[in-house]
Chains A and B, each alone.
Chain A
């Protein structure tokens, strides 16, 4: 039976991509001042059979340099990615429709691990948005979507729907900055 593990990668130094995105939304979006913080992680979801792959995953991640640069990244391997990070009001997951990064990682990992246990790798960029306290809970989803999804040059920044899929999760009890 197939099992899954997720690798969560984040910056332990300043994430300049997240900083630039945050500043651009705040300064260019007409409601940008309602964005308090924006953080980013990279999530890799592995599907595999057997026990050989999970036993080697931590070592593969540490040594392969495929997923982390030890000078700037930290990582954690979990059964399921979490949607409940306490600082987030909403989470936007972005995936390229043709997941070239995932396919490339699977190809490389299979060769490195020397096992056919690995059957799928999916890559996502995950954005964590915390909004201003003034944002009403019922407005969170539409506001986050307008921050995230590019329809015109005046709105969303994080997803171009012409080649990327996305999902939005409003974290229960953390709408705005009230949590």
Chain B
């Protein structure tokens, strides 16, 4: 199987744990610097844009990185059908580059500052996500209606568009593969279950072909059971049970592993 390139823009800070989580699933991953653009499409079979604060979020989160030459390479990779996953700041870069939603070659959406009626600015918490009619590679491991917990941590994570109706279209076309929900799977409508006020409660948006996914929550921070807080239903219970038995079980797959494994399976299967 090909190697997964985890792209390190200046200021991102999740590249190491993202690559480690991929390797933990048995796949190959390398951290790639943003200014290393030659031969990428020959060496790598898929790309992850990890979380962090590229260029210190100057002007708008992700917008400076979206102008880097390596993004043109990513666009070519996307056109070839190679899988690309943007996590948090990586999602912001994909949206500012116009790769997601990707209906046209234009920037069709934004990740606006959180709006939840409770607090402004940066917010981090665990949220519930529901897999929802995905046309994307996430369907490799997540069936429709599956509910998983995951941490989010951002200030600008509200998927919006000047024309909110386009998000209705995205939902109908399966381009919103993950939506914020209540623990029972009901789509979230208010804080804290809906942490940022995103249209269609979107936690992730894909391109029409489904090979590019931008998601705000952090699967690499939930890749192992030991990363899951005790109080998270089901997963926390499982962790506590393992602590009382074999502690090595703490390194069993957490809920975020499903997202990363879905991406790796897409890479393994080749272009979509």
Binding site for B on A (CB under 8 A): 16-17, 20-21, 24, 28, 96, 98, 100-101, 104, 150-153, 157-158, 160-164
- Contacting pair A157 B67 (CB below 8 A): yes
- Contacting pair B59 A17 (CB below 8 A): yes
- Contacting pair B106 A152 (CB below 8 A): yes
- Contacting pair A150 B96 (CB below 8 A): yes
Chain B interface residue count: which class? Answer: 20 to 34
Residue B41 at the chain A interface, CB threshold 8 Å: no
- Contacting pair A20 B110 (CB below 8 A): no
Residue B34 at the chain A interface, CB threshold 8 Å: no
Q: How far is the CB of B109 from chain A (nearest CB, A)?
A: 6
- Contacting pair B96 A153 (CB below 8 A): yes
Q: List 20 A-B contacts (CB under 8 A).
A: A16-B56, A20-B55, A21-B59, A21-B64, A96-B112, A100-B120, A101-B120, A104-B120, A150-B96, A150-B107, A152-B98, A152-B106, A157-B63, A160-B60, A160-B112, A162-B109, A162-B161, A162-B162, A163-B112, A163-B160
- B107-154 at interface with A (beta carbon < 8 Å): 107-110, 112-113, 115, 120
A28 to B55: give the CA distance in the assembly, Å: 15
> Known contacts being A150-B107, A153-B96, is A17 close to B67, with CB within 8 Å?
no
Contact partners of B105 in chain A: CB under 8 A: 152
Q: How far is the CB of B5 from chain A (nearest CB, A)?
A: 20
Residue from B59, B106, B115 in contact with A157 in the complex, judged by beta carbons closer than 8 Å: B59
A151 to B160: give the CA distance in the assembly, Å: 15
Binding site for A on B (CB under 8 A): 55-56, 58-60, 63-64, 66-67, 71, 96-98, 105-110, 112-113, 115, 120, 158, 160-162
A161 to B109: give the CA distance in the assembly, Å: 9
- Given A152-B107, A157-B67, A163-B110; 18 other pairs, CB 8 A cutoff: A16-B56, A17-B58, A17-B59, A21-B58, A21-B59, A21-B64, A24-B64, A100-B113, A100-B120, A101-B120, A151-B106, A153-B66, A153-B67, A153-B71, A153-B107, A160-B60, A162-B108, A162-B109
Residue from A17, A28, A104, A162 in contact with B160 in the complex, judged by beta carbons closer than 8 Å: A162
A164 to B156: give the CA distance in the assembly, Å: 13
Interface of B, secondary structure class, is: loop
A158 to B58: give the CA distance in the assembly, Å: 10
Q: How far is the CB of A123 from chain B (nearest CB, A)?
A: 11
Contact partners of B108 in chain A: CB under 8 A: 162
**8 closest residue pairs by CB, A with B:** A163-B112, A162-B110, A28-B67, A160-B110, A20-B58, A163-B110, A153-B97, A17-B58
> Known contacts being A162-B109, A162-B110, is A150 close to B63, with CB within 8 Å?
yes
Contact partners of B112 in chain A: CB under 8 A: 96, 98, 160, 162-163
Which residue of A is nearest B108, CB measured?
A: A162
Most chain-B CB neighbours within 10 Å: which of A20, A24, A28, A164?
A: A24
Q: How far is the CB of A110 from chain B (nearest CB, A)?
A: 16
A161 to B76: give the CA distance in the assembly, Å: 26
A98 to B156: give the CA distance in the assembly, Å: 13
Residue from A24, A161, A163 in contact with B67 in the complex, judged by beta carbons closer than 8 Å: A24
A2 to B126: give the CA distance in the assembly, Å: 44
- Contacting pair A160 B115 (CB below 8 A): no
Which residue of A is nearest B109, CB measured?
A: A162
